[in-house]
């Protein structure tokens, strides 16, 4: 009986023992309410094993830009813009301002090139048909003359005997052969060539009609709903230094061999020069996309709301290839601005921000935080401790989408994918403390019952609003790091 009582006491003590997942060095007491470090998937009792990730350092060192040039004093004459020919009415600045101005009317040029290629072929075919017609006429006259000669010979040589008869037979055989060629073979060939010529004439007529239509449309300078400024550059900082000081859509070309593409430049916050790489504001664009979509980019760069230029940014993701290229050109800083549904605003800024290329699955590297939103990317969720916090750090993570699982939540297990559960592509760990590309929930607060998988899949920044509050707006913008 004593042994049974002792055994019960031991079992009861073991069951009453507390297990925590906190850092042994921190000695922080366990909270009364167990906090789920990932917003879902509660930890089992005991310590989870977590292998820390050594993040590659962001690019630092030599800067692409020095301090901003001083503003020229008033009264100094400015260089006048010049009108360049064949630019669709676009007014260009000097060469230092860049010359990326779309002109339209490309269809006219393409059709004219096609017309130039087709016309020589048609002319050659016409010439060959004319030659063939002349040859056919000559042969026909020859046959007629030969028929007349045969008739005359028959009258003259009717009594000339076997020699004349044999000659006449040979002549008639030749006459039959030539007549068949003229009556059958030549007309068939001419008919085929005539059909080819008719088809080419139809194509020429369609081309001429298209050219006429396009010429009518191009009678006036081509107009677009969202004009692109003449000034362009390698990035938004370059555009700002060339005079593009208005926040709107521009064309950039980071490398001379690269095709220019559209971006939104934010030229007011902290003296401007920011290139918008991500924007969420109304849930109009679905961010639950595949790997290739995030690689190329998607969404709406900007809109014109009646001012004649695209000054209002839309919801979009610039594209991982472009983000990687821009951040690897030199030291880059990133500014993440966010707003809740009451209008309150905070920001997180990192002086160092680099995204590696696709070969490394776009590994993220950030450092040197300042701001009011909380250092979520580097330190993880501030409400957690020890291993629970480290598995919410995004620095050093590879990019993941629902069709390309690169997170650290049981790698290789298709049933445990952060992106599939949390609504968008991102640098997930196991899984997140920030989820800017998650599902958009109106009103802010949401619950597990509202979520598709019962997870914190909203537009989340845990260090400001926690796991179950979806932000109204968030934007991520970059610029080359420099000091004034």
Query: Which long-range CB contacts under 8 A does 191-198 form with residues at least 24 apart?
Result: 193/125, 193/128, 193/129, 193/132, 194/129, 196/125, 197/122, 197/125, 197/126, 197/129
pLDDT at 40: 44
The residue that leads in pLDDT, 96 or 264, is 264
Within this chain, do residues 195 and 272 fall inside the same structural domain, yes or no? no
Place of tokens 């939540």: 409
Partnered with residue 355 across adjacent β-strands are: 364
Q: Is the pLDDT of residue 65 over 50?
A: yes
Give per-residue pLDDT as tens, 310-339: 889 999 999 999 999 999 999 999 999 999
**Average pLDDT, rounded, for the chain:** 79
For residue 144, being part of any structural domain is answered with: yes
CA neighbor of 271 nearest in space, from 58, 59, 482: 482
For residue 390, being part of any structural domain is answered with: yes
Within this chain, do residues 209 and 321 fall inside the same structural domain, yes or no? no
Q: How confident is the model at residue 108 (pLDDT cuts 50, 70, 90)?
A: low
Question: What CATH number does residue 301 fall under?
Answer: 3.90.215.10
ω into residue 431 within 30 of 0, thus cis?
A: yes
The whole-angstrom separation of Cα 341 and Cα 473 is 8
- Domain stop point among 217, 252, 269: 217
Q: How confident is the model at residue 388 (pLDDT cuts 50, 70, 90)?
A: confident
pLDDT at 304: 83
For residue 299, being part of any structural domain is answered with: yes
Give mean pLDDT, residues 283-294.
96
For residue 335, being part of any structural domain is answered with: yes
For residue 175, being part of any structural domain is answered with: yes
Phi, psi of 385 (to 5 degrees): -140, 155
Give Cα 40 to chain centroid, integer Å.
Answer: 33
Give mean pLDDT, residues 435-452.
93
Place of tokens 């580097």: 378
Within this chain, do residues 245 and 334 fall inside the same structural domain, yes or no? yes
pLDDT at 39: 47
Within this chain, do residues 282 and 212 fall inside the same structural domain, yes or no? no
Within this chain, do residues 347 and 459 fall inside the same structural domain, yes or no? yes
The whole-angstrom separation of Cα 315 and Cα 297 is 11
Within this chain, do residues 264 and 373 fall inside the same structural domain, yes or no? yes
The whole-angstrom separation of Cα 280 and Cα 288 is 13
HEC sequence for 76-107: CCCCCCEECCCCCCCEECCHHHCCCCCCCCHH
Give mean pLDDT, residues 411-428.
89
Within this chain, do residues 199 and 245 fall inside the same structural domain, yes or no? no
pTM (2 d.p.): 0.63
The whole-angstrom separation of Cα 79 and Cα 379 is 50
Within this chain, do residues 203 and 269 fall inside the same structural domain, yes or no? no
Q: Is the pLDDT of residue 27 over 60?
A: no
Question: H/E element holding 305?
Answer: none
Q: Is the pLDDT of residue 203 over 70?
A: yes
Place of tokens 């909203």: 458
Within this chain, do residues 212 and 247 fall inside the same structural domain, yes or no? no
Instruction: Report the DSSP pairing between strands 274-280 and 248-252.
Output: unpaired
For residue 337, being part of any structural domain is answered with: yes
CA neighbor of 225 nearest in space, from 249, 245, 247: 249
For residue 50, being part of any structural domain is answered with: no
Within this chain, do residues 211 and 319 fall inside the same structural domain, yes or no? no
Show the DSSP H helices in 243-390 as ranges.
291-296, 320-328, 376-379, 386-390
pLDDT at 2: 44
Total domains present in the chain: 2
Partnered with residue 244 across adjacent β-strands are: none
Within this chain, do residues 173 and 246 fall inside the same structural domain, yes or no? no
For residue 45, being part of any structural domain is answered with: no
Residue 425: other Cβ atoms inside 10 A: 25
The residue that leads in pLDDT, 55 or 96, is 55
Percent of the chain topping pLDDT 70:
76
Within this chain, do residues 343 and 447 fall inside the same structural domain, yes or no? yes
Helix, strand, coil share (%) of the chain residues, nearest 5: 35, 15, 50
- Structural domain including 132 reads 106-217
End-to-end Cα distance, the chain: 83
Instruction: Report the DSSP pairing between strands 316-317 and 332-339.
Output: unpaired
């Amino acid at each position: 009986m004593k042994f049974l009582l002792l055994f019960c006491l031991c079992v009861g003590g073991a069951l009453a023992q507390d297990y925590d997942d906190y850092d042994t060095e921190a000695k922080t007491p366990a909270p009364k309410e167990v906090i789920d470090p990932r917003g879902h998937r509660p930890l089992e009792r005991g310590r989870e094993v977590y292998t820390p990730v050594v993040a590659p350092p962001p690019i630092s060192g030599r800067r692409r830009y020095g301090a901003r040039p001083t503003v020229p004093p008033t009264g100094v004459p400015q260089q006048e813009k010049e009108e360049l020919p064949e630019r669709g009415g676009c007014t260009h600045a000097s060469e230092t301002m860049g010359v990326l101005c779309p002109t339209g009317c490309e269809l006219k040029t393409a059709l004219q090139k096609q017309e130039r290629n087709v016309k020589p072929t048609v002319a050659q075919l016409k010439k060959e048909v004319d030659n063939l017609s002349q040859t056919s006429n000559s042969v026909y006259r020859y046959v007629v003359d030969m028929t007349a000669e045969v008739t005359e010979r028959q009258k003259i040589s009717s009594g000339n005997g076997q020699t004349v008869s044999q000659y006449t037979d040979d002549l008639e055989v030749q006459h039959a052969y030539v007549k068949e060629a003229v009556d059958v073979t030549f007309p068939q060939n001419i008919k085929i060539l005539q059909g080819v010529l008719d088809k080419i004439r139809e194509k020429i007529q369609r081309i001429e009609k298209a050219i006429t239509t396009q010429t009518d449309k191009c009678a006036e300078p081509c107009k677009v709903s969202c004009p692109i400024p003449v000034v362009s550059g390698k990035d938004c900082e370059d555009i700002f230094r060339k005079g593009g000081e208005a926040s709107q859509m521009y064309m950039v070309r980071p490398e001379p061999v690269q095709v220019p593409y559209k971006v939104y430049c934010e030229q007011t916050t902290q003296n401007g020069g920011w290139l918008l790489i991500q924007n969420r504001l109304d849930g109009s664009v679905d961010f639950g996309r595949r790997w290739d979509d995030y690689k190329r980019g998607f969404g709406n760069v900007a809109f014109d709301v009646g001012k004649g230029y695209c000054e209002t940014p839309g919801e979009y993701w610039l594209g991982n290839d472009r983000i990687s290229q821009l951040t690897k050109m030199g030291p880059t800083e990133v500014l993440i601005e966010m707003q809740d549904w009451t209008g309150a605003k905070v920001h997180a800024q990192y002086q160092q921000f680099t995204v590696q290329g696709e070969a490394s699955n776009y590994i993220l590297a950030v450092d040197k935080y300042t701001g009011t939103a909380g250092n979520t990317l580097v330190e993880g969720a501030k409400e957690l401790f020890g291993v629970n916090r480290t598995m919410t750090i995004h620095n050093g993570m590879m990019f993941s989408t629902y069709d390309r699982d690169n997170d650290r939540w049981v790698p290789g297990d298709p049933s445990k994918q952060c992106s599939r559960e949390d609504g968008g592509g991102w640098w997930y760990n196991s899984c997140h403390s920030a989820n800017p590309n998650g599902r958009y929930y109106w009103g802010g607060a949401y619950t597990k019952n509202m979520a598709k998988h019962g997870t914190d899949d909203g537009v989340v920044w845990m260090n400001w609003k926690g796991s179950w509050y979806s932000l109204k707006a968030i934007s991520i913008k970059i610029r080359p790091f420099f000091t004034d």
